[in-house]
């Protein structure tokens, strides 16, 4: 006899939490996420279907395989994963569990998901993030991003939190989190709809970029800069 587990038919999609690295496409037109474990090589969008990471043709999730999206039930458990050194630059995702799923004691393994909210941690310097900037690594065709304040962006490729939300689409919300402050950027938010915190963050990011460019121009204007020496 094979023991058949009971099937759940929830009236609303279950909510789960996970961590991931935000990514930006090479041409800067798309945004998404990449996992921190098995599925790390396969960036995914806000609304995405899982596939078997081993290339097998069965539907995910399969009980005899590890495939499928993974998340935990408890937000605090997901936040605890951000304490490890290698995951400090990851973001916290709140997701809707869609399609077929397998429930475990601590979470779900499932076929389809929608990322509802991405909470971005502070910049490496400890300041609340105003942007997501090039983290110095990536996947083929995708740049990994890390939280950055306006002062630490400098000349790196970066997008504001509002811009990342717009590029990712599908109603994603991006929240800049810290111990006592949060900023929200919604899909489709126009400059007229932004509140004071969002406008301050956007202005700080633009000012930081302007300061960096002015510094580079000043160096180029110094006597002897850019001289034509023989190589």
Asked if 219 and 225 count as a contact pair (C-beta separation under 8 A), the reply is: yes
Token pair in block for residue 80: 């605890």
Quickly tell me which residue has 């790196």 as its tokens.
156
The pLDDT confidence band at residue 3, using thresholds 50, 70 and 90, is low
Residue (of 205, 75, 49, 52) closest to 129 by Cα position: 205
| CA atoms lying within 13 Å on the CB side of residue 64 | 4
Kindly list the distances between the CA atom of residue 176 and the CA atoms of 114, 149, 179, 181, 213, in Å, as whole numbers in the listed order: 19, 10, 10, 8, 26
Question: Is residue 229 pLDDT above 80, yes or no?
Answer: no
pLDDT value for 197: 56
CA distance 172 to 54: 29
pLDDT value for 133: 97
- Per-residue pLDDT, averaged over 201-206, amounts to 69
- List helix spans (H) across the chain: 75-81, 150-153, 161-168, 196-221
Lowest mean pLDDT among 17-26, 85-94, 113-122, 187-196: 187-196
Q: What is the CA radius of gyration of the chain?
A: 21
- What value does the mean pLDDT of the chain take? 85
Token pair in block for residue 225: 């800069």
Residue (of 84, 211, 88, 82) closest to 152 by Cα position: 211
**Beta pairing class for 15-25 and 91-103:** antiparallel
List pLDDT tens digits, range 47-73.
999 998 888 889 999 988 989 999 999
pLDDT value for 122: 94
CA distance 160 to 205: 8
CA distance 145 to 46: 16
Quickly tell me which residue has 């004691």 as its tokens.
105
List pLDDT tens digits, range 149-176.
988 998 899 999 999 999 999 999 999 9
Residue 19, φ and ψ in degrees, nearest 5: -120, 155
- Per-residue pLDDT, averaged over 185-208, amounts to 57
Quick count: other Cβ atoms within 10 Å of Cβ 37?
12
């Amino acid at each position: 006899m094979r023991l058949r587990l009971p099937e759940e038919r929830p009236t609303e999609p279950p909510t789960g939490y996970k961590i991931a690295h935000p990514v930006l496409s090479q041409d800067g037109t798309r945004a998404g996420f990449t996992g921190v474990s098995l599925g790390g090589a396969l960036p995914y969008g806000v609304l995405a279907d899982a596939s078997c990471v081993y290339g097998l043709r069965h539907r995910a999730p399969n009980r005899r395989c590890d495939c499928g999206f993974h998340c935990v039930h408890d937000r605090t458990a997901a936040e605890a994963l951000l304490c490890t050194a290698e995951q400090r630059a990851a973001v916290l995702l709140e997701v809707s569990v869609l399609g077929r799923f397998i429930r475990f004691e601590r979470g779900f393994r499932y076929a389809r998901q929608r990322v509802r909210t991405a909470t971005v941690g502070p910049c490496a310097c400890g300041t609340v993030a105003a942007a997501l900037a090039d983290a110095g690594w990536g996947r083929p065709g995708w740049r990994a991003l890390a939280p950055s304040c306006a002062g630490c962006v400098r000349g790196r490729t970066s997008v504001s939190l509002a811009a990342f939300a717009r590029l990712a689409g599908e109603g994603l919300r991006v929240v800049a989190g810290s111990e006592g402050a949060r900023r929200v950027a919604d899909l489709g938010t126009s400059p007229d709809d932004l509140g004071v915190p969002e406008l301050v963050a956007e202005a700080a990011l633009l000012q930081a970029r302007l300061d960096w460019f002015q510094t580079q121009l000043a160096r180029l204007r110094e006597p002897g800069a850019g001289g034509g020496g023989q190589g």
